[in-house]
Structure 1
Amino acid sequence: MEELVSDHFRAPVPPERRVSGWKIGLIVFTIGLTLPIFFIGATIGQQLGIADAARTFFGGCLLLGVLASLTSIVGARTGLSSYMIIQFSFGRDGAKLVNALMAVALLGYFGATADIFGRAIQQAVQEIYGLTVPRPLFVIVTCILMTITAIFGFRAIERLAQVAAPLMASFLVYAVYLALGQRDWASVMSFEGRGDMTVGLALSTIVASSIQAAVLAPDVARFARNTRQAIISVWGLALGFPLIFLVSAIPSVAVGELEIMKIMIGIGLTLPALFILVLSAWTNSTVNLYSTSMTLATIATKAREWKITLVAAIFGTSLALMGIMDHFLVFLTAIGIATPPVAGIYLADYFFLRGRHYDVADLKRNPAIGWPALLAWGLSSAVGFVTANSVITLTTVPAGDSLLSAFVIYLVLKRLMGRKPSVHVTV
């Protein structure tokens, strides 16, 4: 049993466990087929109108795709998860602070998905059967499914993605078709939006909503056979995510609703939507829980992997039952500022300071706390905070501001503290 559920949380993935980039990309694409993403796509579609929203979706995901390409290369070449990679720059003990934040962020997504799912299924059951079933019941059942899959690791997630992704993608396309039967294409495309959201804010929201997928890409890219396959896997984010946002926005504009279940009820897909919502919540939150377990494995170094997953699931379920979705946008903004610097730091460390080479054995010789990384993380998060609040303007995307500033600040601090960056710049 231990061998079956072991997934190399603390060591490089061996060659015999490596798979093609297309399979990994399918998993990444499936990550995007989630309820919070549907909600964000619908919100931006109604705020900006379909034409501007589509440009924002593809523009934001293109930026994320570039970042994911670089982080995936690190994952494939080292065979390590994001949480092991972070230790090289932040130190064994310093990384625990960062990884604790990552765990909270991932469990927040886990809880938000379960929370939205519980509300949606409650609405559907009431619509179909006229029954009022307590939302916590649906939340708990969903979380149990997610936990079982996550315990069995990458193998289970890969197989689930192969089944779920085509079904959910086909369903969304069909939903768009039915929605356009209620309101013609020209009318939907001419909709100009009805909110105060600017294109810049929408772009920032897109980047913030999916920045975790780019920053933590090594978690799945470590299973890629080589660098080329790792880059191929990025299609799931760069091309798949904007399409998901778009097919979420079109039915929302056509029906005039934001909540996914109300949209499906409005176009007559109540029962099929129940099945798709189960798959959506199951696949995405399984991946979030799996990544959370890898994060906590670097903190609880002696605990067995499946036990870590179980404890994380209990905490994430508690967040869902407490209604984390009521604070989701605030949570999303904070994560969108604090997470990107982590990628900026480990990319600078790997490509410019370590000669594109990480060896787990070196961690024992590294300082326990990487002060330059911790300082760069704090300072760049502050930069993201002030740009998010329009105190100053840099790239107009706070997540990009914090990431780029972390990259530069880290290299400067390492130089000032006696470690001169190497000239290796080839990726």
Structure 2
Amino acid sequence: MRRSAATEDRQDFPLSEVPPSARKSFASLCVVLLGFTFFTATMFAGGRIGVAFPLWPDLVLIILTGNLLLGAYVAILGLIGYRTGLNTALLSRFSFGRIGARLPDLVLGLTQIGWYGWGTATMAVVLLRLIGFDPEANAALTTILILFFGMAFCWTAYIGYRGLEILSRISVPLMVLLLAVSLWIAIGDAGGIAGLSAIAPTAAMGIGTAITIVFGTFVSGGTQATNWTRFARRPSHAVWGALAAFFIGNGLMIATGAIGALVYQQPDVVDILAAQGLTFLGIIMLVLNLWTTQDNTIYNFSAVGCAALETDRRRQVTLIGAVIGTILALMRIDLYLIPFLLMLGTFIPPIGGVIMADYLYKHRGKYPLLAQASIPAINIPGLAAYVLGCLTAYLTPGIPPLNGILAAIIAYILADKILARSTEAN
């Protein structure tokens, strides 16, 4: 029996287009996306970059370039989400086929669970450090906190979009305030902009690697930004909401971590906050910062999981994902942030490239309604383009995420043309 409209709304339409009646305001969309990108891991990543480059021009250009690429990438996907009303997992059915979509579903699902595990473990470990405990020497307490936060973080995602919005409206202004205070103190301790510019880096890192890290911080979440932009009322809301979150918001987090690391020569954001005398505020920021990202992350997993399992029981899938992520947290996935970011920056962007090529080139910017669409089991151009995009990102020099996206788009168009000619010849 078909579910009622009210029940579908509570489940956030995991298997269908978002109808006009369920669309949200720009303010609602923007605050949810900003809450998602205000993430402690981004500050940690910024810290790793900050100790490796001088402020001008290297560090400034790396932060601007990486976040501009990320913002533009997400804005295009966000517009597709608005126009179709579909989340990323459902868009993948058109791009990869009904069965072929299981590949991007698996990749995106695993990365979101990985992020959930990272955030949960980081919450427990950093909280203990901020209050003066050694997480390694207090393993039992660390385990208890991981279990607690692993279940607590999924509560707002369990509620749905409305739960994400309520928490973000509270936390985003507070986090902006704390970031501003931290930046102000760091610049003052450095002796102003002139003092910042005079600080020499103490670590080494390639520019391409640094941009990949900036891009990789949120390329997985950005690829799934359609999960929220499908709720937009206007195309401009989807585009500007994506840019506000993934260019400005993510850029602010990277810059705060990088400048703090440059000033204090310490890539660990926890030690930076302690050095600035912001321990108490740091605890508040840590909880709000991670919670607003963790609930969005597990919400992403629920969208992918519902599509892969062909079920509309989003809340149950949310709980399953939280349990798996908590297990990864207990295995201390938080110890592998930089390799994880580099992996994401290599293997996730081609998925977005395939979706863009399929929607904009093959379907000329218009998908049929999902219930009426004739979707093949496997879309060969999509799968071939994804593989070639990943190989290009992994093997070529320069900026791997950008290389992977462009290669996937070009490969999709060529493969689609070759397949069409082969079909006509037969």
The TM-score with structure 2 as length reference comes to 0.91
After TM superposition, list the pairs within 5 Å mapping 1:55-74 onto structure 2. Answer: 55-74=61-80
1:212-265 deviations in Å (ceiling 9; x for gaps): 233222111101102121112122212222122112222222233222221111
Amino acid at match of 1:194: T
Deviates further, 104-113 or 325-334 = 325-334
Aligned to 1:173: 180
Which residue among 124, 131, 139 is the counterpart of 1:125? 131
Amino acid at match of 1:141: F
- Is 1:415 aligned to 2:417, yes or no? yes
Secondary structure of 1:11 counterpart: coil
Native 8 Å contact 1:75 1:218 kept in 2: yes
Aligned to 2:3: none
Which residue among 14, 23, 45 is the counterpart of 1:18? 23
Aligned to 2:408: 406
Aligned to 1:425: none
1:69-124 deviations in Å (ceiling 9; x for gaps): 21111100111101101100211111012101110011111111122222111111
Deviates further, 322-331 or 73-82 = 322-331
Amino acid at match of 2:352: A
Question: Aligned partners of 1:31 and 1:24: how far apart in 2?
Answer: 11
Question: Aligned partners of 2:344 and 2:421: how far apart in 1?
Answer: 30
Secondary structure of 1:239 counterpart: helix
- Is 1:6 aligned to 2:11, yes or no? yes
Aligned to 1:336: 345
Native 8 Å contact 1:183 1:254 kept in 2: yes
Superposed CA RMSD in Å reads 2.0
Native 8 Å contact 2:97 2:375 kept in 1: yes
Secondary structure of 2:308 counterpart: coil
Which residue among 275, 294, 297 is the counterpart of 1:266? 275
- What is the aligned-residue identity percentage? 25
Question: Aligned partners of 1:290 and 1:410: how far apart in 2?
Answer: 29
Question: Aligned partners of 1:397 and 1:207: how far apart in 2?
Answer: 9
Question: Aligned partners of 2:373 and 2:236: how far apart in 1?
Answer: 31
Give the direction of change, closer, same or farther, for the CA distance of 1:49–1:25 in structure 2 (3 Å limit): farther
Question: Aligned partners of 1:179 and 1:227: how far apart in 2?
Answer: 38
1:374-410 deviations in Å (ceiling 9; x for gaps): 11111221111112xxxxx3xx111111111110111
Give the direction of change, closer, same or farther, for the CA distance of 1:144–1:352 in structure 2 (3 Å limit): same
1:122-143 deviations in Å (ceiling 9; x for gaps): 1112269xx9572222222222
- Is 1:47 aligned to 2:49, yes or no? no
Amino acid at match of 2:73: L
After TM superposition, list the pairs within 5 Å mapping 1:165-244 onto structure 2. Answer: 165-185=172-192, 186-234=194-242, 235-244=244-253
1:354-384 deviations in Å (ceiling 9; x for gaps): 1211234467522111122111111221111
Aligned to 2:81: 75
Unaligned runs of 5+ in 2: 1-5
After TM superposition, list the pairs within 5 Å mapping 1:142-157 onto structure 2. Answer: 142-157=149-164
Aligned to 1:423: none
- Is 1:279 aligned to 2:302, yes or no? no
Amino acid at match of 2:257: S
Aligned to 2:35: 30
- Is 1:322 aligned to 2:325, yes or no? no
Question: Aligned partners of 1:408 and 1:38: how far apart in 2?
Answer: 34
Unaligned runs of 5+ in 1: 388-392, 421-427
Q: CA deviation at 1:329?
A: 1.9
Give the direction of change, closer, same or farther, for the CA distance of 1:348–1:294 in structure 2 (3 Å limit): same
Secondary structure of 2:51 counterpart: helix
Q: CA deviation at 1:2?
A: 4.8
Which residue among 106, 110, 133 is the counterpart of 2:112? 106
